[in-house]
């Protein structure tokens, strides 16, 4: 089983200024079944979430002691139950001082896979649902949401506990609109020193674009951009960053070091560089798009100078092969307009 240990806490703070109400669950060892299915779905939401942040634990253990508690647990200096008792107690204290209402489950999961271990800390949300009770009367109830995940943290244990820990072994989901509760969750997690995703996205795009321009033919350059985008998209689906060395092997299987060497020499990206590009913005490698003035245009970059031509002097775009649906809409519109005159 992937889950070694798991424990949940239901916390409710519906009267700011009053103590939060909490109900901790039992510590579960290799729970299997439904718990594995729930965790798998939460991981799917976690990996798919755009705008994740990357960082490390705060060194202020007085403010954020999770890292110290977790290390003690992993070194068998305290049990998983003791770790979660402390964690749940801190979450209750944080909610006691909150001025916002909150209700939800906090879940800590220790996942052990064949090649790595990870800890997940998640806030599970609920959806309202209706059911018929034993007397066939409608009854309202709450069920776990399997489509929303707005606050979550993943700790890459191997990276964190290595002799030379990386700077980005924490991955944080912190969605907009989580307000004060989101800030309290970050304090609970002890997350700090986040990666500048926008800067790393630009670094990724610049390196790939410069490498693509070295290609002997436009078709080869297009293949480089497409494969770079595909690799980035696959890594995003796995919830993993983009390692320059792995990307290099993906771009050219026959000469797997070519991009890595180019990036080190021409783009100042040393060996071992790992980037965290925003996969949505990386799409610029394969699509050109823009909107404004009542117009929205989007097309594959491969079509430039083949079916789509741009005249810089006139600032005009010429499309020579219209999509069938667009052509039919234009014809119907023009015919209808001619009929009214």
Per-residue pLDDT of the chain (341 residues), as tens digits, is 599 999 999 999 988 888 999 999 999 998 989 999 999 999 999 999 988 999 999 988 888 899 999 999 999 999 999 999 999 999 999 999 999 999 999 999 999 988 889 999 999 999 888 888 889 999 888 899 999 999 999 999 999 998 777 778 999 999 989 999 999 999 999 999 778 888 989 999 999 999 988 888 878 888 899 999 999 989 888 888 899 999 999 998 888 999 999 999 888 888 888 898 888 888 888 888 888 878 888 877 777 777 888 888 888 888 888 888 888 888 888 888 777 66
117, with CB counted inside 10 A (0-12, 13-18, 19+), is: middle
- The range of the structural domain enclosing residue 154 comes to 3-192
Domain boundary among 143, 175, 192: 192
Quote the number of domains for the chain. Answer: 3
d(CA 34, CA 27): 15
Beta bridge partners of 121: 108, 153
CA-to-CA distance for 123 and 125, rounded, in angstroms? Answer: 6
* Axis crossing angle, helix 80-96 with helix 66-74, rounded to the nearest 10: 170
pTM of the predicted model as reported, rounded to 2 decimal places = 0.76
Q: Are residues 187 and 216 in the same domain?
A: no
| Same domain? 231 vs 262 | yes
Assess whether 183 and 201 both reside in one domain: no
What number of CA atoms fall less than 13 Å from residue 67's CA on the CB side?
21
Q: Do residue 305 and residue 276 come from a single domain?
A: no
192, 227, 246 - which closes a domain: 192
User: What are 143's two structure tokens?
Assistant: 């069920």
CA distance linking residue 142 with residue 148, whole number of Å: 14
């Amino acid at each position: 089983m992937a889950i070694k240990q798991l424990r949940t806490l239901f916390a409710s703070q519906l009267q700011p200024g009053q103590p939060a109400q909490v109900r901790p669950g039992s510590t579960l060892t290799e729970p299997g079944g439904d718990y594995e299915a729930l965790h798998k779905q939460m991981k799917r939401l976690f990996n798919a979430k755009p705008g994740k942040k990357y960082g490390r634990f705060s060194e202020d253990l007085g403010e954020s002691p999770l890292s110290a508690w977790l290390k003690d647990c992993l070194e068998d200096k305290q049990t998983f139950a003791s770790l979660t008792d402390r964690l749940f107690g801190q979450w209750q204290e944080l909610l006691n001082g909150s001025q916002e209402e909150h209700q939800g489950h906090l879940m800590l999961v220790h996942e052990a896979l064949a090649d790595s271990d990870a800890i997940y800390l998640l806030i599970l949300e609920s959806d309202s649902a209706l059911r018929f009770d034993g007397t066939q009367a409608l009854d309202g109830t709450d069920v776990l949401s399997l489509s929303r995940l707005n606050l979550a943290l993943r700790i890459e244990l191997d990276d964190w506990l290595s002799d030379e820990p990386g700077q980005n072994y924490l991955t944080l989901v912190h969605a907009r609109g989580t307000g004060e509760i989101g800030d309290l969750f970050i304090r609970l997690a002890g997350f700090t020193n986040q990666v500048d995703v926008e800067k790393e996205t630009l670094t990724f795009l610049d390196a790939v674009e410069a490498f693509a321009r070295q290609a002997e033919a436009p078709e080869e350059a297009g293949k480089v951009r497409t494969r770079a985008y595909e690799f980035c998209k696959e890594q995003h689906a796995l919830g993993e960053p983009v390692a320059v060395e792995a990307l290099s092997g993906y771009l050219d299987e026959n000469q797997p070091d070519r991009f890595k060497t180019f990036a080190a020499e021409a783009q100042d990206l040393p060996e071992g560089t790992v980037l965290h590009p925003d996969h949505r913005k990386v799409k610029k490698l394969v699509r050109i798009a823009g909107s404004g003035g009542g117009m929205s245009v989007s097309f594959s970059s491969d079509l430039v100078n083949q079916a789509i031509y741009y005249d810089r002097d006139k600032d005009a775009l010429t499309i020579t092969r219209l999509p069938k649906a667009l052509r039919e809409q234009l014809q119907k519109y023009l015919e209808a307009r001619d009929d009214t005159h």
